[in-house]
């Protein structure tokens, strides 16, 4: 049913990728005069004068060990955002093909579609933030190339039902993208281990959230070796810079530290939820499998402005469909969470006094 050759854009099938100096010669030598680099060195103490490994072999081996998968299943992008863009460029003919997105969800799926001149078919989540399967079936046609599923979902925080995701994977002949940016905070399993079952599956993860490396810009796409080979042909040759590769490799050695933060965050998420639910300005705190809470309030704009004046920034999602009244609040350190709660209590007291 899944036919990669039929799905790929014609220009991508015909593409002769750029061949860098480092593609043509791999191995060790003593004199490198093949890439027009500065042979004297760089003005920094590190040797940044040489182009980085285009395929990030060392970093992928480290990721492979942690994720329990082999390097040919791994593509690294300059943030997940580059992985998303490459999916459009591989599969969607501009002005002709379409993709299915299930809002409220991550904004980049739609922005990237517009950049690539690809039609977006919105199939909103149900009221309990799950997939509208009949809606998805009705939206898909012969030109639907990608379906984006985000689980745990941003900004709602919940995970999608696994049977629903499997139903999409089993029935959609295009590519199903499951964005697992928040999987480290969830009690549910990743779909990475299902890759052998589904040639049409792409799992996105990132080092920007639980791993604490948002500034390095490293996104990960896990897929079949055939799909990864396609992404490698399309990507800019040196999409992950040397500093990011080295720093990410060092950071991935600190799994215990990261796991401690994850446990702390999950614990604080429950505590903060309980505390928020006691406030009369809070109507509902949605269950969360992520490192944030979606909080329905009586007066989102007023609360948002009050918090800003107190130096606390949260995300106002109240104008997003199905998120009316809602603020999205990231779980911070214990001190930050305390400060947030104190400010919300202040706001509530002022309101009760009628200002």
Ligand X SMILES: *Cc1c(COP(=O)(O)O)cnc(C)c1O
Q: Scanning residues 85 to 114, which ones bind ligand X (CB under 6 A)?
A: 106
Longest Cα separation, the chain: 77
Q: Which is nearer to ligand X, 214 or 308 (CB)?
A: 214
Q: Does 80 bind ligand X (CB under 6 A)?
A: yes
Residue whose C-alpha is closest to residue 98's, from 124, 84, 86, 116: 116
Stretch that binds ligand X, among 170-178, 208-216, 266-274, 322-330 (CB under 6 A): 208-216
Q: Which is nearer to ligand X, 208 or 242 (CB)?
A: 208
Q: For the CB of residue 125, give the shortest distance to ligand X in the complex, in Å.
A: 14
Measured between alpha carbons, how far is 202 from 336 in angstroms, rounded to an integer?
35
Measured between alpha carbons, how far is 344 from 336 in angstroms, rounded to an integer?
12
Q: Which is nearer to ligand X, 209 or 269 (CB)?
A: 209
Q: What is the dihedral of CA 30, 34, 38, 42, to 10 degrees?
A: -60
Q: For the CB of residue 214, give the shortest distance to ligand X in the complex, in Å.
A: 6
Q: For the CB of residue 325, give the shortest distance to ligand X in the complex, in Å.
A: 21
Q: In the complex, which residue's CB is closest to ligand X?
A: 79
Place of tokens 């078919």: 121
Q: Does 179 bind ligand X (CB under 6 A)?
A: yes
Contacting residue, 52, 54, 71, 79, with ligand X by CB under 6 A: 79
Contacting residue, 56, 98, 144, 154, with ligand X by CB under 6 A: 154
Stretch that binds ligand X, among 76-84, 230-238, 314-322, 339-347 (CB under 6 A): 76-84
Q: Which is nearer to ligand X, 97 or 179 (CB)?
A: 179
Residue whose C-alpha is closest to residue 87's, from 273, 230, 270, 226: 230
Q: Does 181 bind ligand X (CB under 6 A)?
A: yes
Measured between alpha carbons, how far is 173 from 184 in angstroms, rounded to an integer?
29
Stretch that binds ligand X, among 10-18, 19-27, 202-210, 337-345 (CB under 6 A): 202-210
Q: Does 158 bind ligand X (CB under 6 A)?
A: no
Residue whose C-alpha is closest to residue 23's, from 48, 70, 68, 55: 55
Say if CB 225 and CB 201 are below 8 A apart: no
Q: Does 81 bind ligand X (CB under 6 A)?
A: yes
Q: Which is nearer to ligand X, 112 or 297 (CB)?
A: 112
Contacting residue, 208, 224, 265, 337, with ligand X by CB under 6 A: 208
In terms of phi and psi (left: phi > 0; alpha: psi -120 to 50; beta: otherwise), the region of 53 is: beta
CA 285 to chain centre: 23
Q: Which is nearer to ligand X, 67 or 143 (CB)?
A: 67
Give start and end residues of each alpha helix (H) in 238-295.
Answer: 242-251, 255-277
Helix (H) or strand (E) holding 24: helix 21-24
Stretch that binds ligand X, among 165-173, 204-212, 256-264, 278-286 (CB under 6 A): 204-212
Give start and end residues of each alpha helix (H) in 160-284.
Answer: 162-171, 225-234, 242-251, 255-277
Contacts to ligand X by CB under 6 A: 79-81, 106, 150, 154, 179, 181, 206, 208-209, 214, 219
């Amino acid at each position: 049913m899944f036919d990669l050759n039929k799905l790929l854009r014609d220009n991508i099938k015909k593409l002769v990728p750029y061949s860098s100096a480092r593609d043509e010669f791999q191995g060790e030598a003593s004199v490198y005069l093949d890439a027009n680099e500065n042979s004297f060195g760089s003005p920094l103490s590190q040797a940044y004068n040489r182009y980085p490994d285009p395929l990030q072999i060392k970093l992928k081996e480290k990721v492979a060990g942690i994720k329990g998968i082999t390097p040919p299943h791994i593509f690294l992008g300059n943030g997940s955002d580059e992985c998303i863009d490459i999916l459009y460029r591989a599969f969607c003919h501009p002005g002709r093909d379409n993709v299915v997105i299930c809002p409220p969800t991550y904004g980049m799926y739609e922005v990237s579609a517009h950049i690539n001149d690809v039609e977006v078919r919105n199939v909103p989540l149900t009221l309990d933030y799950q997939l509208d399967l009949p809606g998805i079936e009705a939206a898909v046609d012969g030109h639907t190339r990608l379906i984006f599923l985000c689980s745990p979902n941003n900004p709602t925080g919940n995970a999608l039902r696994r049977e629903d995701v499997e139903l999409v994977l089993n029935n959609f002949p295009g590519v199903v993208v499951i964005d697992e940016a928040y999987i480290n905070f969830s009690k549910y399993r990743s779909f990475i281990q299902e890759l052998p079952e589904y040639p049409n599956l792409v799992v996105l993860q990132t080092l920007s959230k639980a791993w604490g490396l948002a500034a390095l810009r490293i996104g990960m796409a896990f897929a079949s070796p055939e799909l990864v080979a396609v992404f490698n042909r399309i990507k800019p040759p040196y999409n992950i810079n040397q500093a990011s590769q080295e720093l990410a490799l060092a950071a991935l050695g600190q799994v215990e530290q990261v796991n401690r933060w994850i446990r702390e965050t999950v614990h604080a998420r429950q505590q903060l939820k309980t505390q928020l639910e006691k406030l009369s300005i809070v109507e509902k705190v949605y269950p969360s499998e992520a490192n944030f809470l979606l909080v329905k309030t009586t007066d989102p704009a007023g609360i948002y402005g009050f918090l800003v004046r107190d130096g606390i920034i949260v995300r106002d999602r109240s104008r997003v469909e199905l998120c009316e009244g809602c603020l999205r609040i990231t779980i911070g350190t214990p001190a930050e969470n305390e400060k947030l709660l104190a400010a919300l209590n202040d706001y509530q007291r002022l309101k009760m006094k009628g200002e």
